[in-house]
């Protein structure tokens, strides 16, 4: 809200606000339009996020309608790509699965446990495709104050885990711990507005996941090299050679 307000006060010509869409109960089938995104009942536990998203979107829309500001709100589906946070317990699904599979292969683990039902479907968008959408909207918003940005492709968590496992070379068992999820689809985002401007995702899920896996492996390689170099320096400091 502060960024939107400051952009208004300093007469920013074009402003794009990007929000994580509110989560909706799995019984709601997609595609989910922008209007449904702002009026539907959010999932239990996500009310605060839904309220803040709606407030910011409506603020941008009001500035646009009343003062002619070039403010647009984008609501992308689940994002992923190189440079993501690969940390256990503190990352999104794709980087978390990559971390699990790579470590399991390195440690020779016979299985990997995932803490979801496995059958729930999710829509993912590669980060570069969102960047391209921002450029498209910055040049031409088509008069839309708010637009969903999605890939148009949903995949179950079970299939996604299998895809990542095959890419990193993990051949063990993938165990899905029950989390009480119904397993039904969350639905796709209705992306008709932004596609009408000529935008379309250029990176399919398989290619995007492959690039993300390669990014993680490269980061892991350099991390190991750096830690090895630091370890050698510490060893030399702790046990200096006699002159």
Q: How confident is the model at residue 124 (pLDDT cuts 50, 70, 90)?
A: very high
Radius of gyration of the chain (CA): 22
210 occurs within a structural domain: yes
- pLDDT at site 52: 85
Q: Which domain holds residue 148?
A: 2-238
pLDDT per residue over 178-232, tens digit each? 655 544 445 688 999 999 999 999 999 999 999 999 999 998 877 776 666 555 5
Res. 137: pLDDT tops 90: yes
Q: Backbone dihedral region of 71: left (phi > 0), alpha (psi from -120 to 50 degrees) or beta? A: beta
Q: CA angle, corner 185, sides to 91 and 82, nearest 5?
A: 30
3-state secondary structure of 74: strand
Tell me the CATH number at 17: 3.40.50.720
127 occurs within a structural domain: yes
243 occurs within a structural domain: no
Q: Which helix (H) or strand (E) holds 132?
A: helix 127-139
pLDDT per residue over 71-112, tens digit each? 999 999 999 999 888 776 656 889 989 999 999 998 999 999
What is the domain count for the chain?
A: 1
- pLDDT at site 84: 86
The total of other beta-carbon atoms located within 10 Å of residue 96's CB is 20
165 occurs within a structural domain: yes
Q: CA angle, corner 177, sides to 111 and 153, nearest 5?
A: 90
């Amino acid at each position: 809200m502060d960024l939107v307000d400051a952009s208004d006060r300093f007469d920013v010509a074009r402003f794009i606000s990007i929000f994580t869409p509110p989560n909706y109960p799995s019984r709601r089938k997609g595609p989910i339009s922008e209007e449904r995104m702002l009026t539907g009942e959010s999932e239990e536990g996500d009310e605060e996020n839904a309220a803040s998203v709606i407030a910011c979107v409506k603020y941008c829309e009001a500035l646009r309608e009343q003062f002619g500001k070039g403010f647009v709100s984008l609501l992308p589906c689940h994002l992923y790509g190189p440079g993501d946070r690969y940390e256990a317990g503190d990352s999104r699904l794709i980087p978390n699965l990559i971390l699990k599979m790579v470590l399991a292969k390195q440690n020779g683990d016979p299985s990997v446990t995932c803490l979801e039902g496995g059958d729930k479907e999710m829509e993912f968008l590669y980060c570069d495709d969102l960047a391209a959408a921002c450029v498209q909207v910055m040049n031409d918003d088509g008069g839309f104050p708010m637009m969903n940005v999605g890939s148009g492709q949903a995949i179950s968590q079970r299939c996604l885990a299998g895809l990542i496992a095959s890419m990193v070379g993990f051949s063990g068992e993938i165990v899905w711990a029950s989390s009480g999820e119904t397993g039904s689809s969350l639905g796709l985002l209705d992306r008709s507005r932004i596609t009408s401007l000529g935008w379309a995702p250029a990176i399919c899920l398989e290619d995007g996941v492959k690039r993300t896996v390669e990014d993680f492996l490269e980061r892991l390689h350099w991390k190991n090299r750096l830690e090895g170099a630091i370890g050698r320096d510490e060893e030399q400091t702790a046990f200096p050679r006699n002159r």
